Amino acid sequence: MAKKTQHFYDNVYAVARQIPYGRVTSYGAIARYLGAARSARMVGYAMTNSHGKDVPAHRVVNRKGLLTGKHHFQGTNLMQQLLESEGLTVIDNQIQDFDTVFWDPSVALD
């Protein structure tokens, strides 16, 4: 099974699964919630390993609501369609009303 060193990844997956439907969060927000505010890159990096898990990676975007990770999805616009399918509006790889749909774990789980 998973090693102890992956506990950071597991935390990322755990938080990502808790993202409500129709909401999104940023890598930095998750990282900060985990106590590793400077490890935002690791959060995204962990998502790469999220394959095979029920982690809604499409709900995790960068701080500006930009779909930087859509590149890693199967389709070219799969990530965007997934978000739109949840009632969000995405234009030019950027989530509209990002501030409104933003979900902060450190606040929601508080």
Partner DNA sequence: CTATTGACTACCG
Partner DNA sequence: TCGGTAGCCAATA
- Contact residues toward DNA (CB under 7 A) are 5-9, 26-28, 36, 38-45, 47-50, 57-58, 60, 62-64, 68-73, 79
Nearest distance in Å: CB 62, DNA: 3
**Closer of 4 and 21 to DNA (Cβ):** 4
Cβ–Cβ under 8 Å, residues 41 and 8: no
Nearest distance in Å: CB 86, DNA: 15
Q: Specify burial of residue 62 (Cβ count, 10 A radius: 0-12, 13-18, 19+).
A: middle
**Closer of 22 and 35 to DNA (Cβ):** 35
What torsion, rounded to 10 degrees, do the Cα atoms 35, 38, 40, 43 define? -50
Nearest distance in Å: CB 88, DNA: 15
d(CA 42, CA 87): 28
**Closer of 68 and 81 to DNA (Cβ):** 68
